[in-house]
Amino acid sequence: MRRIIMSGLTLFVFSCAIAFGQSQVQGKGTFDNVRLLIPVGDGFKATDVILRFESDRLVVRSTKVPEDVKTFRYSDIRSAAHTFSKGPRYQANTAMIVTANVLSFLLFLSKAERHRLEVQSDNDFALLDLDKDNYKALLTAFQASTGRKVAADGVLAPVQGVASLSAR
C-alpha cells in the first residue's frame, strides 16, 4: 500500500514540476519574457513583447496592446545573430556604490546573463533581449521555423549588456 501511495505522490510531484517548468513557453512556438529593444539616442527603450512563430512568419507582439509590433516573413529574413554577455547587474558610479547600504551593495557586485537575438530582413530589423531561462528553446524554435542558422556573434560590450536595464 505504501508503494502505491508513494508512486502516486511521486508521479504527482513530477507532473507538477513539468507543468510549472514550462511556464516560459505559452504554446508551441510562442515565447514570453522577451523584450524588443528600440534604439533611442545612446541607449535603448525596452518594450515587453511576445514572440510567436507562425507557419510562414515571425510575429513580435506587444504585451500591453494586442497588436503586432513587427512581422518578418521567413523568406525575407536575411540573417540572425545571438550575442551573450555576463556582466554587472547594475551600472553605477563609485558614489552610488559607497552610499548603498550593505544589502544593496551586493546587487552591484552580482553578475547577470544577457542574451540578445538580432533579426534582419531586407526592410526591417529587431533586437530582442531574451530570457536566460528560455533562450535555448527560442533559438532552436527560430532555426527550426525559419530554416536559417543563428550565428553566434560572441560577447556584448559591457555598455551594451547594461543598456536594456536602464529602460525597465
Q: Does domain 2-167 have CATH number 1.10.3720.10?
A: no
Higher-confidence residue: 67 or 20? Answer: 67
Neighbours of 118 (CB within 10 A): 17
- 142-166: burial string, b at 16+ Cβ within 10 Å, e else: beebbeeebeeeeebeeebbbbbbe
pLDDT digits (tens, 9 = 90+) for 101-120: 555 555 555 567 788 999 99
pLDDT digits (tens, 9 = 90+) for 30-81: 998 899 998 888 888 899 999 999 999 999 999 998 889 999 999 999 999 9
Q: What residue ranges do the domains of the chain occupy?
A: 2-167
